[in-house]
Amino acid sequence: MILEDTIDNHAKLIGWQIADAIETKRQSNEHLVLGLATGSTPIPLYQELVRLHREANISFENVYTFNLDEYCGLEKKHPESYNYFMRQHLFDHIDIPQDNIFIPRGTLEQVFVNDYCVGYEMKIQELGGIDIQILGIGRNGHIGFNEPGSSRASITRRVELAHTTRRDAAPAFEGFDNVPSFAITMGMKTIMSAKRIILMAFGENKKQATKQAILGDITDELPASFLQQHSNVTYCTDFNIE
């Protein structure tokens, strides 16, 4: 499904759907598993979730979250780490138990990374899989940090970042050379295993990649195009896809 609306309206609608899913699970004493993204795109959604917690008493006590990715080499307290981002925009403002939050650890020695990634996958499965996965999209069609060339079968792993990705992140890091070269990301298979996927893409600079992802060939050159093979994806845009 493709929905075109303003960013704020998308944030409200998705926020409400997440709140509803949390409440439905709570009523049957179950938990909801959310897959979360970083970047500027989901910020209005996180603001809406914080608002729902504060003003509509939505509790996140029965929610588990798995973040898509994290830069290698950044400490949790580094302002550009995704760990810091998630606390700043969401986790510090809601009542989610700390133990329910999973974000790939970017500071592990490389020799431990493979086992760690396998553990990340197992934890998702143990909790019953991701119910709702939130995604943004990179200008080169990456999702999470699944850069062009990422296979449909890829799982959580260490990846090298594309030049365009590092260039896009350069202003936040005050220089290209300060942008980490590697990251840990959930794989395409991990993402495609989510029961429901919501991809958010706002602004003209996302139009080309989003259009290709939805209407173009399915190819590992544009990893977001694999989403065409998923049976429950909502594409939320503020532009027309034609």
Active site (catalytic) residues: 69, 140, 142, 147
Q: Which two tokens stand for residue 215?
A: 């209407």
In the complex, the smallest distance separating the C-beta of residue 132 from ligand GLP, rounded to whole angstroms, is 15
Task: List the one residue out of 142, 37, 129 whose CA is nearest residue 90.
Answer: 37
Phi and psi of 116, rounded to 5°? Answer: -60, -45
In the complex, the smallest distance separating the C-beta of residue 62 from ligand GLP, rounded to whole angstroms, is 25
Task: List the one residue out of 29, 65, 14, 51 whose CA is nearest residue 234.
Answer: 14
Taking contact as CB under 6 A, which single stretch among the options 28-36, 133-141, 146-154, 233-241 is the one that binds ligand GLP?
Answer: 133-141
Q: State which of residues 44, 136, 141, 180 lies at the interface with ligand GLP (CB under 6 A).
A: 136
Return the DSSP state at 130.
-
Taking contact as CB under 6 A, which single stretch among the options 11-19, 21-29, 130-138, 209-217 is the one that binds ligand GLP?
Answer: 130-138
Phi and psi of 200, rounded to 5°? Answer: -110, 130
Number of residues counted as binding ligand GLP (CB under 6 A): 13
Segment 66 to 125, residues that bind ligand GLP, using CB under 6 A: 68-69
- Mark residues 149-168: x for contact with ligand GLP by CB under 6 A, - for none: ----------------x---
Strands (E), the chain: 2-4, 32-36, 63-67, 69-71, 101-102, 132-135, 157-160, 182-185, 196-201, 233-237
- Mark residues 36-75: x for contact with ligand GLP by CB under 6 A, - for none: -xxxxx--------------------------xx------
> Among residues 145 and 226, whose Cβ is nearest to ligand GLP?
145
Residue 235 CA to residue 179 CA, distance in Å, equals 29
131 binding ligand GLP? (CB under 6 A) = no
Neighbours of 167 (CB within 10 A): 13
Taking contact as CB under 6 A, which single stretch among the options 15-23, 35-43, 116-124, 150-158 is the one that binds ligand GLP?
Answer: 35-43
Q: Which two tokens stand for residue 1?
A: 């499904």
Residues engaged in binding ligand GLP (CB under 6 A): 37-41, 68-69, 136-138, 144-145, 165
